[in-house]
Amino acid sequence: MLQSATPRLILASASSARRAVLSAAGLAFDVQAAAIDEAAIKQSGQAEGAAPADVAILLAELKAERIARRNPEALVIGCDQLLVCDGIWFDKPTDPADAARHLKHLRGRTHELITAIVCLRHGQRIWHHVARPRLTMRNVSDSVLETYLAAEADHITACVGAYRLEGLGIHLFERIEGEHAAILGIPLLALLGFLRQHQVLAT
């Protein structure tokens, strides 16, 4: 078998994109979403002048810790992603109007997706990694944005940046640098390497 029976893997995330990435890689895992006050932690981090990567790691670890308390024998995977453009941190848009504001700021610019992953077992962080994909959005017209927002209305508030590269959002970009899975929210190649090192996956 490619994956050992133990430890059990748990993804501490409600993200359908992250679940899809792990499933496509053939991993067996459970999903237990962890609710934390992300907005308050981000605001505190910004007020203290913390680096976006440090805040993303903290958020990922807090999510994993919430689930690891109930599952100490499992290997719990926590993830978080921050979008940073021109020094501004972006959260998931609250509604279509907020999504439109996000996209209008991002168009014609390059932004980073600070994508953190943390693994916990027995209550301890045993590994973490940060990926930094860079994406350059085309300077698309207002009419293109309006058409896009209407077509993706059911999905845009679930995505930081208000776009889905696995959907119509790919049409908004002219250049993408970085692993596709990391852009979707989970640095898969780094995670697979970690799992092989710890004999969770066959080498």
Tens of pLDDT, residue by residue over 128-155, are 999 999 999 999 999 999 999 999 988 8
154 is catalytic: no
How far apart CA 158 and CA 137 sit, in angstroms, is: 19
Segment holding 176, helix H or strand E: strand 173-177
59 Cβ contact partners less than 8 Å away, ≥ 6 residues apart: 36, 38, 41, 42, 78, 80, 116
Regarding beta strands 30-31 and 9-11, do their DSSP bridges make them parallel or antiparallel, or are they unpaired?
parallel
Tell me: the pLDDT tens digits for 12-48? Answer: 998 899 999 999 999 999 999 988 888 888 888 888 9
Catalytic residue among 30, 37, 80, 91: 80
* CATH 3.40.366.10 fits domain 9-197: no
Q: For residue 88, which amino acid is it?
A: I
Compute the C-alpha angle 44/49/54, nearest 5°: 80
